[in-house]
């Protein structure tokens, strides 16, 4: 029977059934596509554990929100998790409770000895030298220096030059450090070596405890960037009799670590390039913190030479002992000029 002779009501029923079948199939296909998209989105969501002494309200954690937004374009959606205890953040990354982690270079040395070497004693006495080195390491041709076994450093932020903080400013001269007690971060072989070289006594501390040791008088000296001066109230330990020696011992960095095989191809190159461009913004924060220190102690030219020679000796010792990567040290010395 042709459609021209089919009764009108029968023809309409058949059209409805055919249309219903097509719409049902389309709806089913759409649900399948939505399911696939959801699975892909879930697969692309990873945890980024962020060490920030200020927790979720800290400046560094807020800075990582910018990184989180950028990473979407590189194929990864991050869920940020704040940590106020750096050792816990490192442990969670080590045990795969975090897919990525932001740590200081010294704590992250177990994941990449190469990029940790940027924090070598006396390697950079200026921020411009560190910026050049980070920029060089961010280039795709230098990617091999960011990979250490299963781990990859996908970004390096400056955290500030490290200065000696004294409870007694009369100990600013290098020769007078002998016999002083210094809060020394566990797992920081460079600091231990330097403390031994000057004849001081190391009191082992955590990132979470060194400030309290200094502030309550348990130690004579601590070392820290100026960015911790106010947040950790180091001015309490400095008081009226102490000061901060205006000579950079090393450069502290914050570094982003991932397990390479768990991230899309090209992610590391894109991440390093973007993070390296954030150097000027981070530097402004550091320099503002340094301006807020009102107890600086300037050392004379003779002591500058003595500090420089001490740090060179410590650096060479740690290269020879395998703590620092010699290629990165050579790069740093070249760009620092």
Dist CA 235 CA 167 (whole Å) = 9
Domains defined along the chain, listed by start: 44-160+251-294 (3.40.190.170)
pLDDT surpasses 60 at 34:
no
Half-sphere exposure of 41 (CA within 13 A, CB side): 6
The H or E element spanning position 225 is strand 221-225
The pLDDT of residue 337 is: 65
Q: Which pTM value belongs to this model? A: 0.85
**Which are the contacts of 115, defined by CB distance < 8 A and separation ≥ 6?**
105, 108, 137, 145, 146, 148, 153, 156, 253, 255, 328
- Average confidence (pLDDT) over 268-285: 97
CB atoms under 10 Å from CB of 264, counted, come to 11
- Average confidence (pLDDT) over 115-138: 96
Q: Tell me: the pLDDT tens digits for 318-330?
A: 999 999 999 999 9
The H or E element spanning position 223 is strand 221-225
Contact 266, 240 (CB under 8 A): no
Q: What is the DSSP string of 261-300?
A: GGS-TTHHHHHHHHHHTTHHHHHHHHHHHHHT---EEPPP
pLDDT surpasses 50 at 16:
no
Backbone angles phi, psi at 223, to 5 degrees: -125, 140
Longest dimension (CA), the chain: 112
Q: Tell me: the pLDDT tens digits for 55-69?
A: 999 889 999 999 999
Q: Which two tokens stand for residue 55?
A: 């927790």
Could you give the angle at which helices 326-336 and 127-137 cross, rounded to 10 degrees?
Answer: 130
Q: Tell me: the pLDDT tens digits for 163-209?
A: 999 999 999 999 999 999 999 998 899 999 999 999 999 999 988 89
Contact 190, 121 (CB under 8 A): yes
Nearest to 203 by CA among 215, 221, 190: 221
Residue 44 or 293, more confident: 293
The pLDDT of residue 230 is: 92
């Amino acid at each position: 029977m042709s459609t021209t002779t089919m009764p009108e009501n029968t023809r309409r029923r058949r059209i409805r059934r055919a249309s219903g079948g097509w719409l049902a199939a389309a709806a089913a296909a759409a649900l399948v596509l939505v399911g696939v998209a959801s699975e892909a989105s879930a697969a692309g969501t990873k945890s980024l554990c962020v060490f920030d002494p200020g927790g979720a309200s800290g400046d560094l954690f807020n800075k990582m929100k910018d990184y989180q937004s950028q990473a979407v374009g590189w194929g990864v959606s991050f869920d940020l998790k704040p940590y106020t205890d750096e050792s816990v953040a490192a442990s969670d990354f080590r045990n795969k409770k975090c897919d990525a982690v932001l740590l200081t270079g010294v704590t992250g040395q177990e994941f990449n000895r190469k990029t940790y070497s940027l924090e070598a004693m006396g390697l950079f006495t200026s921020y411009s030298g560190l910026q050049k080195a980070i920029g060089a390491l961010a280039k795709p041709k230098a990617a091999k220096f960011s990979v250490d076994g299963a781990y990859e450093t996908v970004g390096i932020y400056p955290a500030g030059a490290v200065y000696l903080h004294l409870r007694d400013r009369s100990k600013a001269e290098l020769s007078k450090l002998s016999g002083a007690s210094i809060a020394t971060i566990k797992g920081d072989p460079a600091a231990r070596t330097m403390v031994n070289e000057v004849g001081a006594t190391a009191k082992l501390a955590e990132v979470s405890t060194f400030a309290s040791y200094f502030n309550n008088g348990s130690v004579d000296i601590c070392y820290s960037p100026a960015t911790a001066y106010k947040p950790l109230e180091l001015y309490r330990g400095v008081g009226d009799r102490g000061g901060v020696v205006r000579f950079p011992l090393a450069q502290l960095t914050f570094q982003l670590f991932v397990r390479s095989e768990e991230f899309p191809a090209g992610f590391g190159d894109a991440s390093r390039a973007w993070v390296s461009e954030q150097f000027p913004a981070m530097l402004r924060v550091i320099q503002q913190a340094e301006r807020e220190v009102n107890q600086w102690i300037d050392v004379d030219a003779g002591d500058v030479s003595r500090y420089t020679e001490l740090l060179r000796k410590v650096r060479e010792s740690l290269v020879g002992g395998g703590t620092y990567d010699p290629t990165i040290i050579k790069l740093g010395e070249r760009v620092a000029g």
